[in-house]
Amino acid sequence: MLKVSGLSKSYGEQVVFENISFAMSQGERLGLVGRNGTGKTTLFKIVLGEEEQDAGTISMPRYYTIGHLSQHLKFSEGSVLEEAAKNLPNSEDGIDETYKAEAILMGLGLTEEYFSLKPSELSGGYQIRLNLAKVLVSNPSLLLLDEPTNYLDIVSIRWLKKFLQSWRGELMIITHDREFMDSVTTHTMAIHRSKVRKVSGATEKLYAQIIQEEEIYEQTRQNDEKKGSR
């Protein structure tokens, strides 16, 4: 549903992406991997329109919505529950769906005793959890999560895992926790040498491919070197 075509991005001399293309199918949950500084967060920013690409296009259906975990801690409602419920999509049959917001808050460790607190009364870490709850409550077409487990304890990580496993929309997730990633994703994509490589399945399959490619690359390079020195 999301289609990235011919995307290039550099910061000065540093090439982050060089003409990359990929598409996500309906219901796809994509794990994004790559060493530090390879451009994972930059890709998210470009998809969100927070950062501009040098070339290429990002396309999606007209009705498509994208949700991400904002680092901005800005709340407008008088209570934690109201703040989370504010993002509920309009219910077609007019049924009150506040219970959905409650379930998500509780899953993330914001149990009932927090519901009536002012958002500003929460600790910084819990304010981030509230932001995460708001994104999940908003039920976007595509959910972008950059290291979401950093803000969570074991119990809420386990809850988030289950929640994402039954996520009906699309998901793109960055996490250093391979076990977590493999348990929630349907596809995996690596950023490597300014290009992307995507497989259906888990990280292991992708890493095996990359290692094999690196061996071929190294072999070719050595052969070229031999030729060059002749």
Ligand X SMILES: Nc1ncnc2c1ncn2[C@@H]1O[C@H](COP(=O)(O)OP(=O)(O)OP(=O)(O)O)[C@@H](O)[C@H]1O
- The residue behind tokens 């077609």 is 92
| 42 binds, options Mg ion, ligand X, none, Cβ within 5 to 8 A by partner type | ligand X
- The residue behind tokens 């289609």 is 3
Listed ranges 32-40, 100-108, 110-118, 136-144: which one lies at the site for ligand X (CB under 6 A):
32-40
Q: State the Cα–Cα distance between residues 31 and 175, nearest whole angstrom.
A: 8
Listed ranges 10-18, 35-43, 73-81, 189-197: which one lies at the site for Mg ion (CB under 5 A):
35-43
| 116 binds, options ligand X, Mg ion, none, Cβ within 5 to 8 A by partner type | none
* Contact flag: residue 41 with Mg ion (CB under 5 A): yes
Selected binder of ligand X within 20, 31, 34, 114 (CB under 6 A): 34
* Contact flag: residue 31 with ligand X (CB under 6 A): no
Buried b (16+ CB within 10 A) or exposed e, 11-42: eeeeebbeebebebeeebbbbbbbeeebbbeb
Listed ranges 9-17, 67-75, 95-103, 119-127: which one lies at the site for ligand X (CB under 6 A):
9-17
How many Å from the N-terminal Cα to the C-terminal Cα in the chain? Answer: 51
User: Applying CB under 5 A, which residues contact Mg ion?
Assistant: 40-41
